[in-house]
Amino acid sequence: MKPNYTKNQSPDIEQSIADIIKNLTLEEKVALCHAQSKFSIPGVDRLGIPELWMSDGPHGVRGEINWDNWGYAGWTNDAITAFPALTCLAATFNPELSKEYGMSIGEEARYRKKDVLLGPGVNIYRTPLNGRNFEYMGEDPFLASVMVVPYIKGVQEKGVAACVKHYILNNQEHWRNHINVEVSDRALYEIYLPAFKAAVEEGGVWAVMGSYNKYKGQYCSHHERLNKILKNDWAFDGVVITDWGSAHDTREAALNGLDIEMGTGTDGLTKNIKNAYDNYYLASPFLELIRSGEIDKKYLDDKVRRILRLMFRTSMDSNRGFGRMNNKEHLDVARKVGQEGIVLLKNENSFFPIGMEIDIKIAVIGENATRLMTFGGGSSELKAKKEISPLEGLQEVYQKASLTYARGYATGLPSYGRVNPPDEDPKILFAEAVRVAREADRVLFIGGLNKNHQQDCEGGDRKGYKLPFGQDALLKEILQVNKNVGVVLVSGNAVAMPWLREVKAVMQAWYLGSEAGHALADVISGMANPSGKLPFSFPRKLSDNPAHYFGEQSYPGDSVNQYYKEDILVGYRWHDTRNIKPMFAFGHGLSYTTFEITEVKTDRKSYTQADKIQITYRLLNSGSVKGAEVVQVYVGKHRSEVPRAVKELKGFKKAELAVGEDITETIEIDVASLKYYDESKAGWELEKGDYWVYVGNASDNNSEKIRITIE
């Protein structure tokens, strides 16, 4: 008779796990530690232990992949809701919305019978060339930490494990499979680890994915120091999973905390024996080392214990719901995230919003107005049941206006599963766009990047900072015939804007998923008031970015090593401290209304390490429409004895106000969060003395500056 191992039948899960381990053979234990297909590990049939199934995320549940290769299985029931990319979610500065996002995607994963969702990603935005930045939550560790926790909780409330990734320092795609990152301990602890730490200690995440790259000479997926931090210092009780193919050594994998090895090669069902699942590092080679006594069985049992714990939380939990997919509520969340994440960067003479009732001629120009963006990007590509393009969204809204569309430029690239329009002569496309622009009252240029290789895509970085496909030249010509131009950038990265002074408005629109066109049209028309804030800085030129300022040794490295020479001065920390003005600052984002932040004060002037600093302020909507503002609190040490950034984000709060409405709010900051990592002591140190508290609505726009003292 098979024992009962489900949660509702066993009050002591750990005892049940111990009982199972006693009943497993050595071979069955090892089999649990490695893949049996592209996205699953085996169960144990004789004990009633089910398989564990994973799926790529983090913006939706990926289409079904074949058992034995990377081709799509061709299912007709695996189309899902595509949610906006995580850069957009981070730009909302709205943790409550992050929870809704997580719950929605968790329900879709559960409906698809997935046990582990491979996301979210929290690698730090270090360079605007990183092809995978669109999957992450920006340049600031505090923002990423605050936003990732509710996402994780939302997913896991639905009985699906979140798998936070990529642990750690996967801040570029170029040479990602072998580049060795050299970074100071201080930068590691202050910049690159905090969001992972929050995912574990506050989010209670059930799985962590190791990255491809090396750190200080050792591969991160089985890194002795990194996994001690994770499992010992942070008491992580879940599983460490490789990125696909990121394991390189059986002994290191066995001893250094790797629990499940997944891979990119073919399996034993083909003639390729080398990549057979049984020949993975944590497969037969692992079994042989245990049998020979070279590796203690306790390392295997620890892995199995963690894997079974994950199963009890997911595939062996009979109490979890059935999930839902493609329902109105999920589409509403996707649309809301898009609305709140879109960032209005510039809006001269109130170019936006464009009223729906106005009978005008609008020229919509640019391939990104019609290009489907749920395809491509690498492992995060999605099979959306429906994707509303920007042009479709605008056509629905502007029925009284005359909308004319011109593609304008040709990408000359395939689009991952979608047939592009036949590539016309670029000169013809160019001329047609200029003609359409000349005849319009307003021009909406919808361009940016796309999700093909060496743009916003896994597996390769961008080759440069400027817009591709001649978009800059096209914009220059359009501006010669029509000065009333607004630019909508669809991208997950900052781009150069040589035309910035000449255009009337710029909107950062991200990759918005299934409801892209609706969300964008909502904001352009004024049905939704933009409230997004940039989760990373836009440098004026590439060399203004700290990773690039120090040359090739810093980025991309010499193909063997790279050195994070900017240390802790990432993003706005660099711009502030080096007094290098960005094109658009971290936290920047305009509105169709105006806000006033007044009556800013702290609850007192002096604090101890155990205290909390309470910052109160009055926020007034002094404009003419309802809107939301994000009040941001930064703190900096006055005359610090150690190198520091001028200021760092330590708190924020978003509030929506009606016209004329004002509220008094409080943001609370732990004094302990002001510590820096002291490498000489291998621990955190609080520097006493005076600090500055900055309160405003962007890293470069502070309404008040208050001095406090830490005793």
User: What amino acid positions are annotated as catalytic residues?
Assistant: 243
65 beta partners? 72
CB atoms within 10 A of CB 411: 17
**Distance from C-alpha of 419 to C-alpha of 123, rounded to nearest angstrom:** 32
Residue 289, both tokens: 């080392």
**Distance from C-alpha of 300 to C-alpha of 52, rounded to nearest angstrom:** 18
**Distance from C-alpha of 319 to C-alpha of 178, rounded to nearest angstrom:** 42
- What radius of gyration do the chain's Cα atoms show? 26
Cβ atoms 341, 510 nearer than 8 A: yes
Cβ atoms 210, 220 nearer than 8 A: yes
**Distance from C-alpha of 340 to C-alpha of 517, rounded to nearest angstrom:** 14
How far from 276 is each of 72, 212, 224, 254, 263, CA to CA, in Å? Answer: 20, 20, 27, 19, 10
If you ran DSSP here, which 8-state letter would residue 407 be given? -
How far from 382 is each of 214, 379, 412, 418, 545, CA to CA, in Å? Answer: 29, 9, 22, 12, 31
Residue labelled with tokens 């609370």: 668
Q: What's 324-355 look like in SS3?
A: CCCCHHHHHHHHHHHHHHCEEEEEHHHCCCCC
Residue 563, both tokens: 């050195």
Cβ atoms 116, 161 nearer than 8 A: yes
Cβ atoms 589, 531 nearer than 8 A: yes
**Distance from C-alpha of 211 to C-alpha of 132, rounded to nearest angstrom:** 13
Question: Can you spell out the DSSP letters for 124-190?
Answer: ----TT-TTGGGS--S-HHHHHHHHHHHHHHHHTTT-EEEEEEETT---STTTTTPEEE--HHHIII
Peptide bond into 535 cis (omega under 30): no
b/e code 494-533 from CB counts within 10 Å (16+ = b): bbbbebeeebbbbbbbbbbbbbbbbbbbbbbbbebbbbbb
| Of residues 594, 32, 583, 568, the one with CA closest to residue 258 | 32
Cβ atoms 548, 127 nearer than 8 A: yes
- The 3-state DSSP class for residue 647 equals coil
Q: Give residues with Cβ within 8 angstroms of 33, minimum separation 6.
A: 41, 259, 260, 261, 282, 283, 286, 300, 303, 304, 307
**Distance from C-alpha of 16 to C-alpha of 659, rounded to nearest angstrom:** 58
